[in-house]
Chains A and B, each alone.
Chain A
Amino acid sequence: NAGVTQTPKFQVLKTGQSMTLQCAQDMNHNSMYWYRQDPGMGLRLIYYSASEGTTDKGEVPNGYNVSRLNKREFSLRLESAAPSQTSVYFCASSGEGTAGNTIYFGEGSWLTVV
């Protein structure tokens, strides 16, 4: 049972560098999400994709871009990393949105920007 798989698990970047976080789910879910988690702030939604071919901004989209490559994959790109983007990033998926539906999470990607 792979569920939601995200890579890399750990990454250290220098300010200004770019990187892409990869995410794939094998549950045939339509909806996928990228969250960031910071101490004392819970989870904040960066971007989501309601279905293949669509993406929308969440609460904190600035400095990020996403691509819904196909139904399985949803990547998050940092074009020019900043120290404020040091965080733990979680990819997640659900069958169809969040109302009443379980969201399944990946194990997280720890990103440090120095």
Chain B
Amino acid sequence: AQSVTQPDIHITVSEGASLELRCNYSYGATPYLFWYVQSPGQGLQLLLKYFSGDTLVQGIKGFEAEFKRSQSSFNLRKPSVHWSDAAEYFCAVSMDSNYQLIWGAGTKLIIKP
């Protein structure tokens, strides 16, 4: 069965430090991959998505993600985090049905001043 794994429930990073959030998926076909961010008390907002082409994808707010087919991974990165990046981050994969996404459980990012 298809699945998405975000192995880190919480990550704490100092402001100004680099960030990498991990996402691994189990899916047979070429996946559509997404990263969404959820600020406290808010809905989810798309950061970036990948479905073909260059495996390094640029998103909003200075985030990028790299698709590695050999590792079944789509890790999210940012060179220097800001306090406003504190939020929960969700990785998702689109299924064959075209109307259902499989979601990871989320990684909560905590920023230390």
Contact = CB atoms under 8 A, between A and B. Distances in A.
B45 interface: yes
A25 B35 CA distance: 22
B100 A59 contact: yes
Interface of A: 4, 31, 33, 40-45, 48, 50, 56, 58-59, 90, 92, 97-100, 102-108
B90 A42 contact: yes
Given A42-B90, A59-B100, A107 B43 contact: yes
A59 B103 CA distance: 12
B94 A108 contact: no
Contact of A98 (B4, B9, B32): B32
Contacts of A98: 32, 94-95, 98-101
B45 A103 contact: no
Given A98-B94, A98-B95, A108-B43, 11 more contacts: A42-B90, A43-B101, A45-B101, A58-B100, A98-B99, A99-B32, A99-B94, A100-B49, A102-B46, A107-B42, A108-B42
Contacts of B98: 97-99
Nearest to A45: B100
A48 B44 contact: no
Contact of A102 (B42, B49, B90, B103): B49
Contact of B32 (A58, A92, A100): A100
